[in-house]
Amino acid sequence: MNNQIYQVYADTFFKTDLIDKLKQLEDNQKPLWGIMTPQHMVEHIIGSWLISNGRFQVKLQTAAEKLTERRNFLFSDKEFQQNVQSAEGEPGKLNKLRKDNLLDAIISLQKEIITFYDYHNENPKTLFMHPVFGELNKEEWLLFQSKHIKYHLKQFSLL
């Protein structure tokens, strides 16, 4: 798929299709793996968009000698394995919810996605640090978000 066609697909997916899929979630829906609730998962995804927007900054947590390996994974067709540990929070514990309910979290995610596109369209050369994959530009962030969101959609039987 050429880059321009991929960009149109990604834009439609993130701005419309993703939000429609997430609205299918039930508050008490159980994941196929892991301990997140639907709202925890959406708020977790919001966090990655906040980082990609530059609205929340993180430090690189990957050792220098592992960074090439991690980036090679990101740019490959490989998917995240089930139960992969997030770089945030304490393993095995859920973070405190920040939104009042699942729908508020989904609306907040939609706003962060729009903020991402607005910011990066105005600042196309900007790089923001990802804690595992290093500095990423707009296209690399979209690649990460695609893999990351696909993982979570599968986790909740939405894909």
Give the DSSP letter string of the chain.
--HHHHHHHHHHIIIIIHHHHHTT--TTPPPSSSS--HHHHHHHHHHHHHHHHTSS-----S-HHHHHHHHHHHTSSPPPPTTPPPSSS-TT-PPPP-SSSHHHHHHHHHHHHHHHHHHHHHSTT--EEETTTEEE-HHHHHHHHHHHHHHHHHHTT--
Would 92 be classed as within a structural domain?
no
Would 134 be classed as within a structural domain?
yes
Would 9 be classed as within a structural domain?
yes
pLDDT, tens digit, 9 for 90 and up, residues 8-50: 567 778 888 999 999 999 999 999 999 999 999 999 999 999 9
- Cα–Cα dist 62/18, whole Å: 29
- Cα–Cα dist 38/33, whole Å: 12
Would 144 be classed as within a structural domain?
yes
Would 66 be classed as within a structural domain?
yes
- Cα–Cα dist 144/129, whole Å: 12
Would 17 be classed as within a structural domain?
yes
Domain limits at 26? 3-82+98-155
pLDDT, tens digit, 9 for 90 and up, residues 82-134: 877 665 666 678 889 999 999 999 999 999 999 999 999 999 999 999 999 99
- Cα–Cα dist 70/114, whole Å: 27
Would 89 be classed as within a structural domain?
no
Tally the domains of the chain.
1
CATH value at residue 28? 1.20.120
Buried b (16+ CB within 10 A) or exposed e, 124-144: eebebbbebbbebebebbbbb
The pTM of this model reads 0.89
Would 91 be classed as within a structural domain?
no
